[in-house]
Structure 1
């Protein structure tokens, strides 16, 4: 007769443990920001700790960060700074407008993670501004979905259209760059050389500490920005946004993503094109030139060289962002996702007020460009 087995004869196993998702709000910028960014899509990996630290240093503000962890691993990091009257409890995601303002989220972040983020956010603010940011942003889109499902008011306003150049596809089709364009470029380059010796350079991580930003600022100081405006929109001058980019480049990872093409004429900086390289995607952040050489299109000559180099380096797409669509369409760029500003207002009275003011917020944005305004210039 078989002896029956007693319960004590079985090995006791620990109870099954379910992964835990939790969110916590912390003072300052969290060290988890980099860990989250490194597990996000290539397009968002510039959203690192020093990116936000540079913004606080250049533009002011005190940060708090909501970190969402899944099974102890950080999967979302949302930095924010307060603005407006204290009792209003308004906050915004800090950063730089170029290429956009968003926050890092790991590709492992799921719907419960974004729900946890919103729950913590409701305890921190009445309203959060995120943007300008692209439609379809990989961090923002699931947050908007969770916010709408959770009773938050979600208000968007149009800022601009973006423009994208799929240069790899165009080259495979044999349409980029056009032979006619290359002939024109050789003609202009020949006559530009009459002003002095031409030095075409590419700047990357080692060059920023060696005066790279100063060379770009020199071009801006001689450009139309200085001549026609107060110069506050210049990217690299001391009176513009130079403090931000210099501070961001302290992070060697960010510095390694920064890239510039620079033309010197007789040793003097004459034109530049500055980008952030994110995997196979290039964000075209800024370009400028000295109008003393405008007749020979130094900016155009430079960015064509820059894009050909990008192709050689394995890059496929250029995101030209917003702004003058004429020359971008001549290059071959097509309209991409819209860029918008968003307000998220927590459930309750803030959401009620937000819905009542929806049209005011929408009208405070820009009107989409008409077809006539985006017709490519003659080539």
Structure 2
């Protein structure tokens, strides 16, 4: 008679994974995003739907479920010529392009996804995205394990402000900074009554977005560029943000600090609040008030309010580092653009093109990109004052 097996003698099988690919955006996206890292919970159905509405494209979504619960969702849209069979992640470049994975997802989830992706496309573009992004890191490990070619190009350095660390070292903002700000506010008030306010959640409506667009249309971006990079105008990316705000969860994350002078929209700072992290996405001001540093006055007010709301870190993204370093920001993770090329002859071809893809980006030790130089030149009047004041603090 055989002896009964002890519990510890059983080998526990890994949880069953199932992969599905649907036409359009999957409802599973929100289920994954809700349990993603707090910094990535904006990667919702409404986020990707806004991207499709604003920029076009027809999506498919590959989902991976573990014992019936979705743990990863990868929406994809065709990119480039049809014959190339390239796909990309829809959405918006600010703060970055990625896809949601649950915090407890492991590399096996992406390993299960990759064979289905290989049937859909020769290559997938992920990014621009930060080094250390949860979905990216799982994708890199799984792709290497299965013989995919990985191509990356450097886009820019990011900058981050650790408010908690700054406050641990002493009073922040410094009293001298606040004193200078009050001086500028007094002189700015000579132009009319100043109204400082915040917009979030249910406050997002057509009038709120129109106010942001009005400021951009007065700013350097309209005067010095073709306006295509503006975030809120009809010729820029306004359609995306208006569509994103239709998701009440996203609307609750979207945040704007506003300055009106005699009721006229005059400056804004626009962010996404993701838990204790604030993504600083865009700011602009009416150059008629430039000598009084309205941008500086507004973002300091915004950061003081952020502290009250429990924000401990600010991700300033890429671009001119001048004013960011003045307020204490330091270099953060690099931002890169990735191509993942499926195994076989496509991966071999991808490896041959790795150098060419890398050269389309920036040198990590090179000078500032042309775009950052243009922005710096356009803003140098206001920024130069802010830098001098920061040096005095």
For the aligned pair, the TM-score class normalised by the smaller chain equals over 0.9
SS where residue 123 of structure 1 aligns? Answer: helix
Matched residue, 1:96: 92
Give the aligned partner of residue 310 of structure 1. Answer: 306
What is the CA–CA distance in structure 2 between the aligned matches of 1:362 and 1:139, rounded to whole Å? 21
* 2:340 aligned with 1:344: yes
1:59-106, Cα deviation, whole Å (9 max, x unpaired): 010001100011111000000101222232110011101000000001
Instruction: Find the counterpart in structure 1 of residue 116 from structure 2.
Output: 120
- Matched with 1:174 is 170
Query: Could you tell me how far 1:114 is from its partner in structure 2?
Result: 1.2
CA distance in 2, matches of 1:188, 1:292: 14
Structure 2's unaligned 5+ residue stretches are 5-11, 377-385
SS at match of 2:134: coil
More displaced, 304-313 or 364-373? 364-373
Aligned pair in 2 of structure 1 residues 309, 250: CA closer, same or farther (>3 Å)? same
Provide the TM-score with structure 2 as the length reference. Answer: 0.90
Equivalent-residue separation in structure 2 for 1:288 and 1:145 (angstroms): 40
Which residue of structure 1 lines up, in the alignment, with residue 322 of structure 2?
326
- Residues 153 and 338, structure 2, Cα contact 8 Å, conserved in 1: yes
Q: 1:319 to 1:149 in 2, by over 3 A?
A: same
In structure 2, the residue matched to 1:159 is: 155
Residue aligning to 1:46: 42
Provide the rounded CA distance (Å) in 2 between the counterparts of 1:59 and 1:18: 40
CA contact (8 A) 1:22 1:113 kept: no
Post-superposition offset of 1:260 = 0.5
Deviation at residue 215 of structure 1 after TM alignment: 0.8
Measure, in 2, the Cα distance between the counterparts of 1:371 and 1:247: 36
| Unmatched segments (≥5 aa) in structure 1 | 8-15
Q: Is 1:199–1:263's contact at 8 Å kept on the other side of the alignment?
A: yes
Aligned CA RMSD, in angstroms, stands at 2.1
Q: Which residue of 2 aligns with 1:87?
A: 83
Asked if structure 1 preserves the Cα contact closer than 8 Å seen for 2:108 and 2:142, the reply is no
Aligned partner of residue 159 in structure 2, secondary structure: strand
Pair 377,366 (structure 1): closer, same or farther in 2 beyond 3 Å:
farther
Aligned residues: 368
Within a 5 Å distance, the mapping from 1:213-224 to structure 2 comes to: 213-224=209-220
Query: Quick one: structure 1 residues 186 and 18, their matched pair in 2 at CA, closer, same or farther if it must change by over 3 Å?
Result: closer
User: Matched residue of 1:139: which SS?
Assistant: helix
> Where does structure 1 differ by over 6 angstroms across 4 or more consecutive aligned residues?
371-374
C-alpha distance in 2, partners of 1:67/1:161?
31
1:146 & 1:79 partners in 2: Cα distance?
18
TM-score (norm 1): 0.93
Q: Does 1:355 align with 2:351?
A: yes
In our comparison, the structure showing a higher alpha carbon Rg is 1
